[in-house]
Amino acid sequence: MEEFEFKDSQVQKLNSKKGMFALLSRETLNYPKTIRFLDYEKKLKKLQVELVRLQTWAIQNNERIIILFEGRDAAGKGGAIRRATERINPRNFRIVALPKPTKEESTQWYFQRYVNQFPKEGEIVFFDRSWYNRAVVEPVNGFCTDEEHEIFMNQVNDFERMITESGVRLVKFYMSISKKEQEKRFNEIKSDPLKQWKMSSVDEAAQVLWDKYTFYKKKMFDLTKDHIRFKIIQANRKTSARIAVIEHILKVIPYDKELEI
């Protein structure tokens, strides 16, 4: 095992009940990784307290907030959403992950089924993928026509301008991972009986279609860069990505940081 020089503060962390559990629950003793995890847990808890404060402010002020997540398959969108929501009041937030459109929905205005999921006063809605399916996933996989894609691209900035002008706060994330990291996560999912359900036919094709996803992703970024921009999160390390997501939410939503909870 690689020699590791401890600081006093790190020794105290490892000697704690949580530290010993984290260290011994790993297949091999990895002191640096365990200390990083303990630091992550401590920082996450502090940020989650602030999210509770933000939610309390939103409820008291009848705020309507949408936080949407886009990104590569297996980029950690669901994990980031879980860490952002696990401590806040479940009565005042929803996670929306819509399936493919029904036959009836396919005849409606594209944005309509997303509008139907928008927050009421005092509510936060987290979209695990959103209307931006039509910007990237659908054209890459042939789920929409070129004309449908072009119509979406012509409408999306005006759509977001209208909803934000109506008082909805909109935060947009794009979770970015490398091709190698995506392949590694896919292999982990396939080998884990508790996670195999996560793999879809779209996921199976993601590595082959990597460059095509990149092409449409860049088009999406170029289209939105002068409007409501995506916050790009480098997500190869899941823990760092989750912290970055929550920090950005707390930064861009002007909640009362002194509010008692």
How many Å apart are CA 177 and CA 76, to the nearest integer? 9
Whether 88 is covered by a domain: the verdict is yes
Tokens standing for 163? Answer: 């909803």
Containing domain of residue 69, as a range?
63-252
Tokens standing for 156? Answer: 């999306």
Q: How many structural domains compose the chain?
A: 1
CA Rg value for the chain = 20
Q: Kindly compute the dihedral angle of the four CA atoms of residues 104, 107, 111, 113, in this order, to the nearest 10 degrees.
A: -10
Whether 259 is covered by a domain: the verdict is no
Whether 9 is covered by a domain: the verdict is no
Do 68 and 245 contact (CB within 8 A), yes or no?
no
Whether 248 is covered by a domain: the verdict is yes
Q: Read off the DSSP letter of residue 5.
A: P
Write down the number of H helices and E strands in the chain.
11, 5
Whether 167 is covered by a domain: the verdict is yes
Q: Is 120 exposed, middle or buried (0-12, 13-18, 19+ CB in 10 A)?
A: exposed
Rounded (to 5) percent helix, strand, coil in the chain: 55, 10, 35
Neighbouring residues of 233: CB distance < 8 A, sequence distance ≥ 6:
71, 80, 173, 174, 175, 176, 241, 244, 245, 248
SS3 210: helix
The distance between the two most distant Cα atoms of the chain, rounded to a whole number of Å, is 64
Whether 49 is covered by a domain: the verdict is no
Whether 236 is covered by a domain: the verdict is yes
Task: List the CATH number of the domain containing 146.
Answer: 3.40.50.300
Whole-structure pTM over 0.85, yes or no?
A: yes
Whether 149 is covered by a domain: the verdict is yes
Show pLDDT as tens, one digit a residue, over the chain (261 residues): 445 555 655 545 555 655 554 554 555 555 677 888 899 999 999 999 999 999 999 999 999 999 999 999 999 999 999 999 999 999 999 999 999 999 999 999 999 999 999 999 999 999 999 999 999 999 999 999 999 999 999 999 999 999 999 999 999 999 999 999 999 999 999 999 999 999 999 999 999 999 999 999 999 999 999 999 999 999 999 999 999 999 999 999 999 999 988
> Which helix or strand (DSSP H or E) is residue 137 part of?
helix 137-141
How many Å apart are CA 22 and CA 29, to the nearest integer? 10
